[in-house]
Structure 1
């Protein structure tokens, strides 16, 4: 009798415990600042092995004790339930590698994985009508009253008159502002955080984003800078000029009466790190009592880091997992898709024709509402912005989820955003200055503001982010482009109200 030969046994590749990125020489040389750090140390995220204990705090306490007693290193800082942060040299990291520790070492059981603390970068008078937010405000009295939105960005300038009516100073939000840029600098966490430290914005990015969501321009003259195109030999060149509002138009956020919480994660150079963003998301969970006492109803994240397909599956990075966890507690998360629409593939020698997917993390998070960019007032004609990142995710999901105006969006100008224009440079952050900017960073707050308006008129949707996302996508207006470019289509707030 003949027997079929048994097929050869195959073994699955062993799952790494320390990120392969941390083995790269360029990460430690300082030539490519893709991982946060100071001098010869690099910041890492330590993912705790929560299966060893039902109480995450005890796992962290044991890890801190091992760092201090066994390794002689400073204690890691808590970022969230699952992650802690440490600054390590290359030699110290090697000593911490769970695969190199002796068998049975308790330290190896406390650590699930070690990730790089990646560097993360930042990514309405006409655009409100494009998404029909102005009509919804009039028809449904949807001005954002009673809704609180957190803005993870470079801070917000409180002196700007756009926020004069309590947008940032209302008792409901004033104690909640936080500055997390100490993590970017590598400093220790302040013993007593000062909310006022988050109410600064030397960069201007956060103020511009925030004013698209909420607040309104004051009565009286406004200083509005826009770009004009001047003929030059060899082509047209942009220049800054000024304009006035057309009769009957006004500048306001899509939910002018909503209140904003400034969670400052971007430093003065508009860069941050994964740990600062995770710490900010954890702050929202703590403020809300993990969903038992919702005080913040949504977050806007107009920043991101390029997705590394060699490091983790799509939507499974620490940043994406923490964002999905936040949504699971009842908070709406709106994320910019990224400005990598023309990016090329950095692996295997590069692809000169572009990448299959250019969505930035945390835009790959499954539960996030990921927003791409369209033309400001003629999206049906001009379609998707060339810079807007395209999908799908590399595990086959549709992204972006929806698109909104992101080209030449006029919003509040502060810090370096204001001083770009010579006409505004001589004024102050306390003057009513406005300026144009483009990017998915500007598209995302259109969706945040629209949802804040929706929740103010439909309060029964608070705490139901999955239902909110479904309403937005089911009622979006297709632009006739591929779904990996436009997602479900253009945000249409009137249709959402009509069918919600």
Structure 2
């Protein structure tokens, strides 16, 4: 493959897309790793010259490039060496809307944590584990760095939307998720499932809660490179994407636990991607009555359910909001796994998934062909302890 000629053709195609309104987000995948590495070598040398390079995102974990293309006939000569795939749009849980007005920063001690935290029995575990030092990459809209309930929780993250800025939350969803997982302000604010865990905000979604698969892959790569223990994915899409599957698989094989939301469409036989991939832990949402929330997707692909209906958590500008969605359920599970990993750090992703699925409490009025139920942290820790004797 003539890499220099390919770069010239790619620049031509990307430049054309800049002035065309009909361009599409695409992956260019190299069939051979050596061609990708050679491209990266030459591309790095030329990077400061053409402005078009700012529109090309290398994805090293899958030996690919992401860019917008309107006409890729100039790349046809290289078809023996590359393939083209669609870079699909992704959204945070669309139905997870705010259902309460902001409340004051200071809360009474009776409201130190939401009903979901108590429901999954997190407080009973805190004498043994608070998820201390477990690193969780929250791939979302960023976080509110000034929220007092996250003061002892946040570590270095990354902004993939605006790379020169810190990953500040301009939407609210990411702050809400981070609070459920690991808020830590027992006496003057809220406490999350794993108040000793560390949150790395990975901003892949803009202020509208939108991203592309390529942004998610960059987020996954960052989490692998920075040695996260868990990746929380409170988002989804309807279409299967091979590039995303490959990136998820690479993270899974590196030992990272990936927890993903099933979606909020109320479907009874399917769930969103990436939750549908077997390398993730797929989470559905329940209500206070231990029933599947009406908005939650459900199918045999779901691994576990957790509280997701009317969950109070953090919100930007030092406030709190109540939200509903499988996003919130996913956060409870990520926090629970942090509690588990702090006690048993050598557990593999497959072992953790087995323990989580074995620890379920039955749901009310839920008919299925296989055992499925709701998160119970007490049972989860008991099963883990018995398996490590």
Using the size of structure 2 for normalisation, the TM-score is 0.81
Q: Would you say the 8 A contact 2:144–2:315 is kept in 1? A: no
Distance 1:260 1:402, change over 3 A: same
1:63 is displaced (CA, Å) by 8.8
Contact 1:321 1:365 in 2 (8 A): no
Return the offset for 1:56: 4.6
The Cα of 1:487 is off from its aligned counterpart by 6.7
- 2:230 is matched with 298
Local SS of the residue matching 1:129: helix
Distance in 1, Cα, partners of 2:91 & 2:332: 20
Which of residues 307, 321, 342 is equivalent to 1:405? 307
Give the match's secondary structure for 2:296: coil
Q: 1:115 aligns to what?
A: 85
Superposition deviation, residue 73 in structure 1: 7.2
Aligned residue runs from structure 1 range 363-382, under 5 A = 363-375=275-287, 377-379=288-290
1:254 aligns with 2:193: yes
Change in Cα spacing, 1:307 to 1:389, as seen in structure 2 (3 Å) is farther
SS at match of 1:210: helix
Q: Which residue of 1 aligns with 2:29?
A: 47
Instruction: Trace 1:344-383 onto structure 2 (pairs within 5 A).
Output: 356-357=269-270, 359-375=271-287, 377-379=288-290, 383=291
Partner of 2:297: 389
8 Å Cα contact 1:142/1:457 also seen in 2: yes
Task: Report the alpha carbon displacement of residue 483 of structure 1 after superposing the two structures with TM.
Answer: 3.9
Offset at residue 322 of structure 1 (A) = 1.1
Take 1:77 and 1:302, find their aligned partners in 2: how far apart are those partners? 23
Q: Deviations over 1:362-393 (max 9, x none)?
A: 11111100100001x320xxx211111123xx
Q: Which residue number in structure 1 is paired with residue 338 of structure 2?
A: 452
**Consecutive unaligned residues in structure 2, runs of 5 or more:** 1-18, 46-50, 94-112, 385-389
Match of 1:318 in 2: 243
Deviation of the 1:441 alpha carbon = 0.6
Match of 2:105 in 1: none
Q: Please tell me whether residue 214 in structure 1 is matched to residue 194 in structure 2.
A: no
How far 1:142 sits from its partner (Å)? 1.1
Report what 2:380 is aligned to.
496
**Would the aligned equivalents of 2:61 and 2:247 in 1 still touch at CA under 8 Å?**
no
Contact 2:139 2:201 in 1 (8 A): yes
The CA distance in 2 between the partners of 1:50 and 1:390, in whole Å, is: 39
Q: Which of 221, 234, 242 matches 1:282?
A: 221
Residues in 2 aligned to 1:401 and 1:38: alpha-carbon distance in whole angstroms:
44
CA-to-aligned-CA distance 1:216-259 (integer Å, 9 cap, x gap): 23534x6xxxxxxxxxxxxxxxxxxxxxxxxxxxx311000111
1:132 and 2:40 correspond: no
Which residue is 1:87 aligned to?
Answer: 68
The ranges of structure 1 where at least 4 consecutive aligned residues each deviate by more than 4 angstroms after the TM superposition are: 59-65, 72-75
Whether the 8 Å contact between 1:46 and 1:84 is mirrored in structure 2 is: yes
| Cα 1:206/1:85, change in 2 over 3 Å | same
**Counterparts of 2:304 and 2:173 in 1: how far apart (Å)?**
22
Instruction: Name the structure 2 match of 1:205.
Output: 173
CA contact 1:364–1:399 (8 Å) conserved in 2: yes
Give, in angstroms, the shift of residue 307 of structure 1: 2.5
Aligned residues between the structures:
343
Secondary structure of the corresponding residue to residue 263 of structure 1: strand
1:363 and 1:208 mapped to 2: Cα distance?
Answer: 20
1:482 pairs with one of 331, 345, 367: 367
Tell me, yes or no, if the aligned pair for 1:319 and 1:361 is still in contact at 8 Å.
no
Kept in 1: contact 2:61–2:250 (CA 8 A) = no
Change (3 A) 1:152 1:108: same
State the distance in 2 between where 1:64 and 1:73 align.
13
Who wins on radius of gyration, i.e. which is larger?
1
Q: CA deviation at 1:495?
A: 0.8
Change (3 A) 1:64 1:366: farther
After TM superposition, give the deviation of residue 64 of structure 1 in Å.
9.2
Change (3 A) 1:437 1:38: farther
Q: Counterparts of 1:38 and 1:325 in 2: how far apart (Å)?
A: 35
Q: Which moved more, 1:146-155 or 1:79-88?
A: 79-88
CA distance in 1, matches of 2:85, 2:20: 17
Task: Tell me, yes or no, if the aligned pair for 1:63 and 1:110 is still in contact at 8 Å.
Answer: no
